Amino acid sequence: MTRVDIKPLFLWMLCLHAFCGTFATTDLPTSRTTVAKKTDFNDIESKFALRTPEEVDEDTCFLVPGQENTISQCNFNHTSKTFVVIHGWTVTGMYESWVPKLVAALYKREPDSNVVVVDWLARSQQHYPVSAEYTKLVGQDVASFIDWMDEKFSYPVDKIHILGYSLGAHAAGVAGSLTNKKVNRITGLDPAGPTFEYAENDVTLSPDDAEFVDVLHTYTRGSPDRSIGIQKPVGHVDIYPNGGSFQPGCNIGEAFRLIAEKGFSDIDQLVKCSHERSIHLFIDSLLYEEKPNMAYRCNSKEAFEKGLCLSCRKNRCNTLGYKVNKVRGKRSSRMFLKTRAQMPFKVFHYQFKVHFFGKKNLTVTNQPLTISLYGTRGESENIPITMPEISTNKTFSFLLYTETDIGDLLMVKLKWEKDSYFSLSSWFISYSYDIQRIRVKSGEFQKKLVFCSKDGNHVSLARGNSPVVFVKCNQHSIMKKKKKV
Ligand SMILES: *[C@@H]1O[C@H](CO)[C@@H](O)[C@H](O)[C@H]1NC(C)=O
Ligand SMILES: *[C@@H]1O[C@H](CO)[C@@H](O)[C@H](O)[C@H]1NC(C)=O
Ligand SMILES: *[C@@H]1O[C@H](CO)[C@@H](O)[C@H](O)[C@H]1NC(C)=O
């Protein structure tokens, strides 16, 4: 068995979960120093490796600002677009395993592009607050590099897309604010939170740093000064997958499964699982073009959970990742979506709206329902959901999602499961509601449908009973209803 040094890992966890927040406040005086442009190339410490599709994990050729010959030596393609990848804080002083994965995915999608990896490993290996300070210098370095490409080779800056992860996102922001001309796009992949949540725009990623700034927030758990990922929106489009605080598949149970499967050395992946998910979501968008993840604008996580925000009108929805629709609103918009725990991450979102009729007043909380969807292309059975509340003669709305593309929805089955604990009262009280119709709105297909019972009448949804079936309301049953009234 290989010995693994887990000390750096613990430092990582400690810093991110406890110390960084406190350092943040003591570090403020230096954080206020404004960032200036560099005038010569001598003090550029960052290195710019032009990787190749053949060697995605090796820095074999460096583009050196001030040394024109390096551009041709590295076979830089002047007519293609350029991706500039900026890594984040590291405990090991080495590139993390996502770097070659992202480089490979970029080349797979854009084979003629130039993928440049910025090496600031020495500065990123310091105490977190020190490395956080260094993002300004790294940003200056990157800006000098871009200005040099523009001035010396007339390389069009609107072909430059910077991707920065964690601290690298803020370095990208600084770079973008310093270049002579605005770069085309900056993608912030879970920009670091500690020391940046309350910092000024010129040291953090912000919408003015590029023509378009899109941001994925994947690990924003805890109070703002403790959160590993920045919580506030910092781009034109800010997407919070799964609410943004934590990602599916990143819990402890999953940790043990992974350790069993892949061995101990991958445990650091796990600590950073939700943080790093931002990168894998972007990679997903490069590799699975045919399975785009849709995100929906919403004022709150809670409203999204109720399924209230699945509209695409007036740019309310957008595509996560590479093919994002470059919408620049007056204020940044928060967008939400659910995902799977693995790549491809895509799911299909539905809003369900149900009115629960009853003769008696009855209110129940935290009730387990299972819902099955049947469509033209497939089916998705027994999707569990918990209804926070159901009460008589009220309408409730909730979000349902499934990884299966079921096509056009044809039939819905609803089952009210028994409570997990035994309750005596359930012997005496009949827990049931009548349902007349179910309104379903699909996010991905942007369709609204109404479902009725087969004969168009009310059906009774009773706890513990067999599922009730709803089909698309046809003209016949709607006519029947009208005659009755
Ligand atoms: C440079 O990229 C363009 C597309 O942008 C491509 O047509 C051309 O073949 C590439 N040149 C080289 C030398 O790879
Ligand atoms: C709920 O509304 C129906 C009519 O829509 C009515 O008959 C019934 O009595 C109401 N139930 C309660 C508990 O008020
Ligand atoms: C049910 O509750 C509502 C308001 O709480 C009340 O107006 C209504 O009369 C009640 N209906 C029955 C049948 O008790």
- For 196-254, the pLDDT digits (tens) are 999 988 899 999 999 999 999 999 988 887 899 999 999 999 999 999 999 998 887 66
Q: Token match 């204020």: residue?
A: 331
Q: How confident is the model at residue 468 (pLDDT cuts 50, 70, 90)?
A: very high
Residues with CB under 6 A from ligand 1: 77, 79-80, 112
Comparing 31-45, 150-164, 388-402, the range with the smallest average pLDDT is: 31-45
Residue 44 has pLDDT above 90, yes or no: yes
Write out pLDDT tens, residues 277-310: 999 999 999 999 999 999 999 999 999 999 999 9
For residue 82, the ligand closest to its alpha carbon is 1
Q: Which atom of ligand 1 is nearest to the CA of 78?
A: 1
Residue nearest to atom 7 of ligand 1 (CA): 112
Q: Which atom of ligand 1 is nearest to the CA of 79?
A: 5
Centroid of ligand 1 to alpha carbon of 106 (angstroms)? 15
pLDDT at 471: 95
Residue nearest to atom 9 of ligand 1 (CA): 112
Cα(177)–Cα(199) distance, integer angstroms? 15
- Annotated active-site residue in 166, 227, 285, 380: 166
> What mean pLDDT is predicted for residues 309-316?
95
Q: Is the CB of 391 under 6 A from ligand 2?
A: no
Residue nearest to atom 10 of ligand 2 (CA): 359
Rounded to the nearest 5 degrees, what angle is found at the Cα of 407, between the Cα atoms of 402 and 408? 115
pLDDT at 475: 54
pLDDT at 180: 96
> What mean pLDDT is predicted for residues 14-43?
52
Q: Which atom of ligand 2 is nearest to the CA of 392?
A: 13
> What mean pLDDT is predicted for residues 73-97?
95
Centroid of ligand 2 to alpha carbon of 390 (angstroms)? 15
- 435: helix, strand or coil: strand
Cα(91)–Cα(17) distance, integer angstroms? 15
Structure tokens at 322: 């590479």
pLDDT at 186: 98
Biggest CA–CA distance in the chain, Å, is 86
* Residue 209 among known ligand-binding residues: yes
- Annotated active-site residue in 190, 268, 284, 434: 190
Q: How confident is the model at residue 476 (pLDDT cuts 50, 70, 90)?
A: low
Residue 333 has pLDDT above 90, yes or no: no
Cα(279)–Cα(188) distance, integer angstroms? 9
Residue 18 has pLDDT above 50, yes or no: no
- 257: helix, strand or coil: helix
Ligand 2 pocket mutation pick from 355, 356, 357, 364 by most atoms within 8 angstroms of CB: 357
Taking the CA atoms of residue 433, residue 438, residue 439 and residue 443 in that order, the dihedral angle to the nearest 10 degrees is 100
Residue 370 has pLDDT above 50, yes or no: yes
% of the chain surpassing 70 pLDDT? 84
* Comparison of pLDDT for 457 and 164, the residue scoring more: 164
- Kindly list the distances between the CA atom of residue 362 and the CA atoms of 44, 281, 396, in Å, as whole numbers in the listed order: 70, 43, 14
Spatial CA neighbour of 46 closest among 64, 60, 61, 68: 64
Q: How confident is the model at residue 26 (pLDDT cuts 50, 70, 90)?
A: very low
DSSP string for 399-432: EEEESS---SEEEEEEEEPPPSS--THHHHS--E
What secondary structure letter does DSSP report for 50?
Answer: E
**Long-range pairs of 40-47 with CB within 8 A, sequence gap ≥ 24:** 41/65, 41/66, 41/144, 41/148, 44/141, 44/144, 44/145, 45/120, 45/122, 45/123, 45/137, 45/141, 46/118, 46/119, 46/120, 46/123, 46/137, 46/138, 46/141, 46/142, 46/145, 47/118, 47/119, 47/120
Torsion angles phi and psi, residue 163, rounded to 5: -120, 120
Residue 84 has pLDDT above 70, yes or no: yes
Rounded CA Rg of the chain = 26
Strands 114-119 and 82-86 come out as parallel
Residue 73 has pLDDT above 90, yes or no: yes
Per the DSSP assignment, residues forming a β-bridge with 372 are 413
Q: Is the CB of 358 under 6 A from ligand 2?
A: yes
Residue 11 has pLDDT above 60, yes or no: no
Centroid of ligand 1 to alpha carbon of 115 (angstroms)? 14
**Long-range pairs of 363-366 with CB within 8 A, sequence gap ≥ 24:** 363/389, 363/390, 363/391, 363/392, 364/389, 364/390, 364/391, 364/431, 365/389, 365/390
First to last CA, the chain: 76
Q: Is 434 one of the annotated active-site residues of the chain?
A: no
Q: Is 27 one of the annotated active-site residues of the chain?
A: no
> What mean pLDDT is predicted for residues 134-158?
96
Q: How confident is the model at residue 480 (pLDDT cuts 50, 70, 90)?
A: low
For residue 458, the ligand closest to its alpha carbon is 2
Spatial CA neighbour of 294 closest among 257, 349, 334, 214: 349
Cα(164)–Cα(185) distance, integer angstroms? 11
- In which element (H, E) is residue 295 found? strand 294-297
Strand order, beta sheet including 394-402: 379-391, 363-375, 409-416, 468-472, 447-452, 437-442, 348-356, 394-402
Residue 485 has pLDDT above 80, yes or no: no
- Kindly list the distances between the CA atom of residue 479 and the CA atoms of 154, 226, 227, 453, 471, in Å, as whole numbers in the listed order: 69, 59, 56, 14, 16
Centroid of ligand 2 to alpha carbon of 478 (angstroms)? 21
Residue 421 has pLDDT above 80, yes or no: no
> What mean pLDDT is predicted for residues 21-25?
40
Centroid of ligand 2 to alpha carbon of 362 (angstroms)? 11
Residue 129 has pLDDT above 80, yes or no: yes
Q: Is 460 one of the annotated active-site residues of the chain?
A: no
Q: Is the CB of 392 under 6 A from ligand 2?
A: yes
Spatial CA neighbour of 232 closest among 129, 145, 124, 332: 332
pLDDT at 251: 81
Residue 375 has pLDDT above 70, yes or no: yes
- Annotated active-site residue in 161, 170, 217, 275: 275
Centroid of ligand 3 to alpha carbon of 74 (angstroms)? 78
Comparing 16-30, 341-355, 424-438, the range with the smallest average pLDDT is: 16-30
- In which element (H, E) is residue 164 found? strand 160-165
Q: How confident is the model at residue 259 (pLDDT cuts 50, 70, 90)?
A: low
pLDDT at 126: 93
% of the chain surpassing 90 pLDDT? 75
Cα(215)–Cα(283) distance, integer angstroms? 14
Spatial CA neighbour of 127 closest among 254, 23, 251, 216: 23
Mean pLDDT score of the chain:
88
pTM comes to 0.89
pLDDT at 474: 73
Q: Is the peptide bond before 248 cis (omega within 30 degrees of 0)?
A: no
> What mean pLDDT is predicted for residues 390-405?
96
pLDDT at 483: 52
Residue 155 has pLDDT above 90, yes or no: yes
Residue nearest to atom 12 of ligand 2 (CA): 359
Residue 173 has pLDDT above 60, yes or no: yes
